[in-house]
Structure 1
């Protein structure tokens, strides 16, 4: 079957290589409240030096700890490669599972955002929005691979 928008299967291992360590480091940093602002401090180009509305300098170079940005890039790029790389055996039913998993993950993700919007406020809500940058991919990957696992298990049980 011809699929236009999926990466070749060989990219899936690279996705796992990026996603798993970044996910574990990010969860550890969050759970143990580790300050990473002083890690990997380098000069970077910034649209503003502080919050956009309070900024006195725009389009400038600042010194910033970039570990959080690197982890987020690894999470997102890894998640995209995992979720949108072809399986070894890709067919119409696999595409249906991929589509339904993506829709399911989208509903769950935005349902959780609405729920947290009602019950979480202040800077804690900012954490919800930060986690939201990769939770849609995370839910999609979990659901898709679980459904493929169930399909393979059912197929193997029938034989």
Structure 2
């Protein structure tokens, strides 16, 4: 028996609804760099070890963006079958190879704070590339079946 680890189809809509606000807040964190004072709380920190005062704005933004992209990327299609599973698998492999190739190239060419900004974006690169590639291939597949 094959296990299916995909989310139900309704999670894709939830993912898109979550994606918009969390993408905006993540870009604010990335390009503005300011910490919102209204979300400052005492938080356990590993480095440096102890309790520190920290704004949760950037953490909540990243968690929300990650969850929304996971919901979008890994929700079942209404007509999920072996062909769509194959498209999903090939798209994920392509996205992984492309994202890590880009990471290797950019590691050799980008330095200092610009590199840290790139790494922040690269955390989500595999999911972004997968969603784009998967939807393009799924569109081509469905269009060829309708002809």
Per the normalisation by structure 2, the TM-score is 0.89
Q: Deviations over 1:17-40 (max 9, x none)?
A: 22222123323554xx32331342
Which moved further from structure 2: 17-26 or 72-81?
A: 17-26
1:57-136 matched pairs, under 5 angstroms: 58=49, 60-136=50-126
Which 4+ stretches in 1 moved above 6 angstroms?
none
The unaligned stretches of length 5 or more in structure 2 are: none
Q: State the distance in 2 between where 1:145 and 1:28 align.
A: 27
The answer on whether the counterparts of 1:9 and 1:87 sit within 8 Å (CA) in structure 2 is: yes
Report the TM-score, using the length of structure 1 for normalisation: 0.83
Q: Tell me, what secondary structure is at the counterpart of 1:102?
A: helix
**Hey, what's the Cα distance between the residues in 1 that align with 2:11 and 2:72?**
8
Distance 2:16 2:69 in 1: 8
Tell me, yes or no, if structure 1 residue 15 matches structure 2 residue 47.
no
Q: Is the 8 A contact 1:36 1:68 kept in 2?
A: no
Q: Would you say the 8 A contact 1:101–1:140 is kept in 2?
A: yes
State the aligned residue count.
146
- Once the two structures are TM-superposed, the CA of residue 94 in structure 1 deviates from its matched residue by 0.2
> Is the contact between residue 29 and residue 58 of structure 2 (CA under 8 Å) also seen in structure 1?
no
Contact 1:44 1:62 in 2 (8 A): yes
- Give the secondary structure class of the aligned counterpart of 2:80: coil
CA RMSD across the alignment: 1.9
The answer to which structure has the higher helix fraction is 2
Which residue in 2 is equivalent to 1:42? Answer: 41
Q: Which has the higher mean CA deviation after the structures are superposed, 20-29 or 130-139?
A: 20-29
Q: Distance in 1 between matches of 2:89 and 2:132?
A: 13
